[in-house]
Amino acid sequence: MDAAIKSIRPSKPSDKQLESRPAELDPAEFLAAAVRADQPRPARAEAEAAVKTLLAYIGENTEREGLLDTPRRVVEAFDELYQGYHQCPAEVLDRTFGETAGYDDFVLVRDIEFTSQCEHHMMPFYGKAHIAYTPVERVVGLSKLARLTDIFARRLQTQEHLTAQIAAAIDEILKPRGVAVLIEAEHTCMSVRGVAKHGASTFTSRYTGMFRDNPAEQARFLSMVRGMTR
């Protein structure tokens, strides 16, 4: 009997499969703070006790001098590293300016440095975000794009999700003609553990509106991000 041979080439998705693709991000995810004021949370003492448990798990003597204050320091560091959970992205973009003299090209802020934490291993990934949008009559302060990046970065993340959140927030709140976001980062979860490939970079992008629909605008955005002055 002849063996059946299956093609390894993926088949073209059907209309039904296309319709079942995940929806866009829920606006509630990026229009408000991630933690509600009334949301139950462990007490600080409980958090410090959890850190002490982890220290004991790796084989440390939690009573030695160098570690006596470590649980407190770790919880304080968490308060700083994850402050994005308590910040509202919509508030960052709520003030715009209309004196643009009819400006109708895109605005690009590149090389926005950030550090975030991988949600899979809780290890840092860091790099640069490049953000462009084409305003309709009104623009937002340039520093607000950097602050928006920091809010989302200071939460447990994947780089893909971070990219999508930044683009979705700008698109939903500013209602521009288009948004382009490109993020390049190094992930310590693969550079200092696992495969240990130091220096490997990951690139993710998200386009909406005119950037999604017009390849020439995408190309111009990427050309400016990779400009000769870098």
Nearest CA to 34 out of 163, 189, 152, 185 is that of 152
Q: What share of the chain is helix, strand, coil (3-state, %, to 5)?
A: 40, 20, 40
Euclidean distance between CA atoms 150 and 129, whole angstroms: 10
Q: For residue 110, how many other CB atoms are within 10 A of its CB?
A: 16
Element (H, E) at 131: strand 124-134
Which residue in 24, 46, 113, 119 is the catalytic one? 119
Which residue in 159, 172, 217, 218 is the catalytic one? 159
Q: Vertex 26, ends 179 and 188: CA angle to 5°?
A: 70
186 is catalytic: no
Which residue in 48, 87, 117, 118 is the catalytic one? 118
Which residue in 121, 161, 184, 186 is the catalytic one? 121
187 is catalytic: yes
Nearest CA to 159 out of 191, 196, 206 is that of 206
List phi, psi (to 5°) of 186: -110, 135
> Is 179 within 8 Å of 167 (Cβ atoms)?
yes
Cβ neighbourhood burial of 109 (10 Å; 0-12, 13-18, 19+) = middle
Which residue in 48, 117, 130, 187 is the catalytic one? 187
130 is catalytic: no
198 is catalytic: no
Residues 6+ apart with CB under 8 A from 30: 89, 90, 152, 165, 168, 169, 172
Q: List the catalytic residues.
A: 118-121, 159, 187, 189
